Structure 1
Amino acid sequence: MFENIIDVQEVLLTLYYFVVLGLVSIACMWIFAKLTPYKDFELIRNGNIAVAIQFAGKILGITHIMSVAVNTNDSLLGAAVWGIIGFILMVVGYFIFEIATPKLDVRKEIEKGKVSVGIIAASISLAISFIISGAIS
Structure 2
Amino acid sequence: MLTTRPGEAASYKEAFVIVSDLFTLPAFVAYLALGIFYFVAFVVTYIWITPQREMALIRDGNLAAAISLGGAALGFVQPLASAIAHSVSLTDLALWGLVAWIVQLLTHFVLRLLVRDLRRKIEEDVRSVALFVAIVAICVGTLNAAAMSY
The percent identity for this pair of structures is 25
Structure 1 residues 12, 63: closer, same or farther in 2, change over 3 A?
Answer: same
List structure 1 segments (4+ residues) > 3 angstroms apart after TM superposition.
Answer: none
Q: What are structure 2's unaligned runs of at least 5 residues?
A: 1-13
Structure with higher RCO (Cα < 8 A, 6+ apart): 1
Q: Alignment partner of 1:59: what SS?
A: helix
Q: Normalization by structure 1: what TM-score? A: 0.90
Structure 1 residues 2, 126: closer, same or farther in 2, change over 3 A?
Answer: farther
Alignment of 1:1-137 (within 5 A): 1-5=14-18, 7-101=21-115, 104-137=116-149
Q: Normalization by structure 2: what TM-score? A: 0.83
Offset of residue 124 of structure 1: 1.0
Deviation track 1:12-51 (CA, whole Å, cap 9, x = no partner) reads: 2111111111111100110011111111111111111100
Q: Does the 8 Å CA contact 1:94/1:124 hold for their aligned counterparts?
A: no
Whichever of the two has the greater Rg, that structure is: 2
Q: How many residues align?
A: 135
Letter in 1 for 2:63: I
Q: Please, what is the CA RMSD of the aligned residues?
A: 1.5
Q: Alignment partner of 1:14: what SS?
A: helix
Deviation track 1:38-91 (CA, whole Å, cap 9, x = no partner) reads: 111111111111000111111111111110111121111211210111110111
1-side partners of 2:114 and 2:129: how far apart? Answer: 14
2-side partners of 1:60 and 1:9: how far apart? Answer: 31
